[in-house]
Amino acid sequence: MKMTNTQLPIEEIVQNYSTNQTSGLNDAEVVRRQEENGKNVLTEAKKPNIFQQIGRHISDIASLVLLFAVVLSIYLALTTDSGWTKPIVIGSILVLNVMIGMYQEHSAEQALSALKKLSVHEVQVLRNGQKIMLDATELVVGDVILLEPGSQVPADARLITASNLSIDEAILTGESLPVDKISEPLREEPEEIGDYQNIVFSGTAVTQGNATAVVTEIGMQTELGSIAGMLNQTKVKQTPLQNRLNRLVSSLSGVAIAGGIIIFLLGMFLHGDPLASSLMIGVSLAVAAVPETLPIIVTISLAHGVKKMAKRNAIMRRVSAVETIGNVNVIASDKTGTLTQNKMTITKLWVNEGGLTAVNEVDVLDDHQAKLLKMFGLATNAQITKDENDLALEIGDSTELAIVRLLHKFGMSRNSLENDSPRLAEDPFDSTKKTMATLQKLPNNKSLLIVKGAFDRLPINRDTAEYAEALKNHDAFGREALRVLAVGYKVFDGVPTESIENLQDEVDLLGLVGMIDPPREEVIAAISEAHGAGIKTVMITGDHLETAKAIAKKIGILNAGDSVLTGTELRKLSDEQLMDQIEGTTVFARVSPEDKIRIVTAWQEQGAVVAMTGDGVNDAPALKAANVGIAMGITGTEVSKGAADMVLTDDNFATIVAAVSEGRTVYQNILKAVEFLIGVNFAQLFLMIFSVAIGWGAPLIAEQLLLINVLADGIPGFYLSREPGEKSVMKQKPITQLTSIFANGLGTRVAIRAVTFTILTLSIYAFGRFGMSNGGAAIGMTMLFLVLALGSMIDIYAIKTRESLRVASFKSNPTLNMGMTIAVVLVLAVAILPPLQNLFELVSLPPMAWLIVVVTMFIPTIVLEINKRLQNRNRVDNEYQAITED
Ligand code: ADP
Ligand code: MG
């Protein structure tokens, strides 16, 4: 940072950076500066180069053991007459293994970097004299940026103007209280970041006020950039499931290596086999039994989930959220804009002394009604203009747009109102106080204070007959699901000297408007889908209780037996009391963003996994506290997006439910991969150890084992991540993060598969060796190779869907079919083509042997299907029980 920036007057700053505070930079200048200084990005930690990547893949357990096998075989080739086939074949398998690993990881990374591009951070900038929205990475030094509540500061910048500006600098200073900022030059050079009162820093957040500023540093030159080393540790945190699977893989690797050692010892000491060949078979068995592809398949499944969720309008900001969203059992959703369409239309007016009017029944307004509308119009910031194609361009808050639309309908406009009575001051709306006020200039040296907002928050006298009448109408509006806005006013002689905040007491109530905001059409179905999936949806809104209840009933959130809480009631409850009540409560009305965090924690205390939505600056803490914080892509502030785990590009509740279903699908696919990868590994261990122990010798040679391992583990399993979701994913209760990987029958299925394959392969080998030939191993070995390789690949079709196998099951995942075809062709090529046969020590089979192979290789699939039908029948019974118990 250039220290003097703090002490210079604004004119000099502007001059030093060759910019213009009213028009900003022009395009040519921007291009020039970007060429010179690059983009406004924090450079990422360097990607490992190709050698480092290879190095990393070779250093996983399976590859290390494989490498050992290569070295060993080379040693044998050099010292004995065993030839070079083995080292070449095993070496190729090692290369193939590393290549598949690298390819898989690469596709996972691609999906994740696409994710980064999706989450752009937008800023308001002055360019060529115009205010535009821009991706923050496009900023250059000298740009004039505009900040408002909820903005995230995109670069380090010196303030030009600052009104009422407060900034949360916790990311840099750790200080959680916002600091006030000014635009005036400082007298002394500050010593600590927190003292740079007229500088705003990249990454910090505007909590209050408005400002313009000149960008002075971008990218790595910012204060944030200087600590980016810390932030660069973007080593994606492992998800809980990943952690558990990694532990599983380590223990299975232990078993595999133990198996390898056993077979080595058996071969050497029981049978007196040569050291080298015993060692070779031990090593190969260990390699085959280590489920080394599992961690990669998990990463790919998560990455694929991210991609699919993005297609369905949910942008994941953290990979771990892909998993967590599937575990959610409570969704706490904002009402306005998320459950509803956010298209408000005023349908009713009530004016003090003028009575109640349905808007669509009048063509001209009487004086009372016109006055009401004018007051609302003056205290409004939304704007409807025309764009270049003469289409209406609506800017501003949806509630206020409803007012402006009604003004236009009755031939008035905000501009002409504003011309007659210009605005002197404003106290902006916020969701905690739920009102806003403006001070307008009246002719003959008077001024007009207007307060508009929630009826129960308006500073009016409540002891009057008018109040009672207003309350009656207010409640009636609410029961019709209308959002109510009240307005009051007060006239002053001259311009009051007090600040607008202090003027707001005892205003005269003028009237109310009621506006309808219809529920989104998809929401009702989404809520019932969530319900069927064991997920409770609760509504959180700043609106009045009656309005909230009416809508909640319509969309199925408030049902018989559910209770409601208002913000006022909630604040009276202790944390324990809230915890007791939380489970029965589905509507929270008139709450402030500050209350949301208590709602989240109360649910979490009950053991729930909570998804919560939010859009404002004040929502950020609740979004962080929630298990999955969800921000609104359209109406949300940058700060809320920054705090969230997930951003909805369509602000739609139904998208959350879609994301849950994708999250669950990812989780299921990972479990399917576990099931697919580990059952046969055990069978291979049993087969080899048993066969050697009873004196049949090794029924498969090292190269065969390794090839089966690469093809069967590496290729089909990889495509399980692309398996589309099953209908049943949203008909089950949420899986908690404590549920064992082997729950829900998975353990049984793995065991069944291990046993089936052990028995099958031993029988085939015995039959081939003693039934089809006279004790020679070649035919039995070839039959065993085929049955094991093909059988353990085709049963993926029984594993990939929990529903019973049918024709459609074969169509749902074309990439899997493609991978399978490649793998099957490779296996057959090895078994049929003479040169490959020789390489892998296989022989041509007589037709009878082929027949047996083709028939028996389907046995594991059939056994799995039978078991599936039994398990599914039990599950249906259990689910039925669970439902009747509820
Ligand atoms: P929600 O979370 O449902 O959007 P808010 O906290 O934004 O609720 O709004 C709560 C109440 O504040 C509304 O019922 C309305 O009475 C009032 N209100 C909303 N927007 C404005 C506004 N722009 N100006 C004045 N009052 C408003
Ligand atoms: Mg709102």
Ligand nearest to the CA of 340: 1
Q: What CATH topology corresponds to 315-341+520-659?
A: Rossmann fold (3.40.50)
pLDDT of residue 616: 86
How many angstroms separate the CA atoms of 575 and 555, rounded?
29
Distance 150 CA to ligand 2 centre (A): 14
- What pLDDT does residue 600 have? 96
Atom of ligand 1 nearest to the CA of 381: 23
Cβ distance 289 to 259 under 8 Å?
A: yes
Closest residue by Cα to atom 9, ligand 1, is 542
Asked if residue 880 has pLDDT above 50, the reply is no
Q: Which residues contact 586 (CB under 8 A, 6 or more apart)?
A: 536, 537, 538, 539, 552, 557, 558, 559, 562, 563, 564
Q: Is 783 helix (H, G, I), strand (E, B) or coil?
A: helix
Atom of ligand 1 nearest to the CA of 483: 14
Q: Is the pLDDT of residue 886 over 50?
A: no
Pair 232, 254: CB distance under 8 Å:
no
Comparing 241 with 418, which gets the higher pLDDT? 418
Q: Is residue 283 within 6 Å of ligand 1 at its C-beta?
A: no
Q: Where are the domains of the chain?
A: 10-44+112-233, 315-341+520-659, 349-513, 745-886
Choose the residue to mutate in 430, 509, 516, 543 for probing ligand 1, maximizing ligand atoms within 8 Å of C-beta. 543
Each residue's pLDDT tens digit, 335-379:
999 999 999 999 999 999 889 999 999 999 999 999 999 999 999
CATH number of 349-513: 3.40.1110.10
Token look-up 């039990």 returns 874
Ligand closest to the CA atom of residue 334: 1
| pLDDT single digits (tens) 181-222 | 999 999 888 888 888 999 999 989 898 888 999 999 998 888
380 lines ligand 1 (CB under 6 A): no
Is a pLDDT exceeding 50 seen at residue 233? no
Please work out whether the CB of residue 437 comes within 6 Å of at least one atom of ligand 1.
no
Q: Is the beta carbon of 62 within 6 A of some atom in ligand 1? A: no
Nearest CA to ligand 1 atom 25: 453
Q: For the chain, what percent of residues have pLDDT higher than 90? A: 59
Residue 885 pLDDT exceeds 50: no
Q: What is the pLDDT of residue 234?
A: 39
Ligand 1 pocket check for 436: Cβ under 6 Å: yes
544 C-alpha vs ligand 2 centroid, how far in Å? Answer: 12
Residue-by-residue DSSP string for 412-475: --HHHHHHHS-EEEEE---TTT-EEEEEEEETTTEEEEEEEE-GGGS-B--SSHHHHHHHHHHH
Distance 542 CA to ligand 2 centre (A): 7
DSSP letters along 145-179, please?
EEE-TTPBP-SEEEEEEEEEEEEE-HHHH---S-E
The alpha carbon of 543 and the centre of ligand 1 are apart by a number of angstroms equal to: 6
pTM for this prediction: 0.87
485 lines ligand 1 (CB under 6 A): yes
pLDDT 10s digits, 462-493: 999 999 999 999 999 999 999 999 999 999 99
Q: Which atom of ligand 1 is nearest to the CA of 400?
A: 23
The CA 124 to ligand 1 mean position distance, Å, reads: 25
Say what the pLDDT of residue 172 is.
Answer: 83
Which of 344, 378, 399 is the best mutation target for the ligand 1 pocket, counting ligand atoms within 8 Å of the beta carbon and taking the most?
399
Residue burial 679-700, b: 16+ Cβ < 10 Å; e: rest: bbbbbbbbbbbebbeeebebbb
Give domain 10-44+112-233's CATH architecture.
Answer: Distorted Sandwich (2.70)
- List residues with catalytic annotation: 334
Q: What is the pLDDT of residue 759?
A: 97
Q: Is 399 in the pocket of ligand 1 (CB under 6 A)?
A: yes
Q: What percent of the chain has pLDDT over 70?
A: 96
Q: Calculate the alpha carbon distances from 337 to 289, 344, 592 in Å.
A: 53, 10, 16
Report the nearest-CA residue for atom 10 of ligand 1: 542
Q: Which of 732, 733, 335 lies closest to 557, judged by CA?
A: 335
Which is higher by pLDDT, 872 or 367? Answer: 367
**Measured from the CB, is residue 619 less than 6 Å from ligand 1?**
no
Instruction: Measure 400 CA to ligand 1 centroid, in angstroms.
Output: 9
Q: Measuring from atom 20 of ligand 1, which residue has the nearest CA?
A: 399
Range among 145-159, 180-194, 509-523 with highest mean pLDDT value: 509-523
Whose Cα sits closest to atom 14 in ligand 1? 543
Classify strands 330-334 and 610-614 as parallel, antiparallel or unpaired: parallel
Cβ–ligand 1 distance for 474 under 6 Å, the answer no
Q: Which whole number is the average pLDDT over 693-704?
A: 89
Q: Is the pLDDT of residue 883 over 70?
A: no
Is residue 665 left, alpha or beta, with left meaning phi > 0 and alpha meaning psi from -120 to 50? alpha
Of residues 203 and 853, the one with the higher pLDDT is 853
Please indicate whether residue 335, judged by its CB atom, sits closer than 6 Å to ligand 1: yes
Segment 72-99 mean pLDDT: 84
Measured from the CB, is residue 483 less than 6 Å from ligand 1?
yes
Q: How confident is the model at residue 114 (pLDDT cuts 50, 70, 90)?
A: low
Nearest CA to ligand 1 atom 18: 453
83 CA to centre of ligand 2 in angstroms: 78
Over the chain, what is the mean pLDDT? 89
Ligand 1 centroid–CA 640 distance in Å is 18
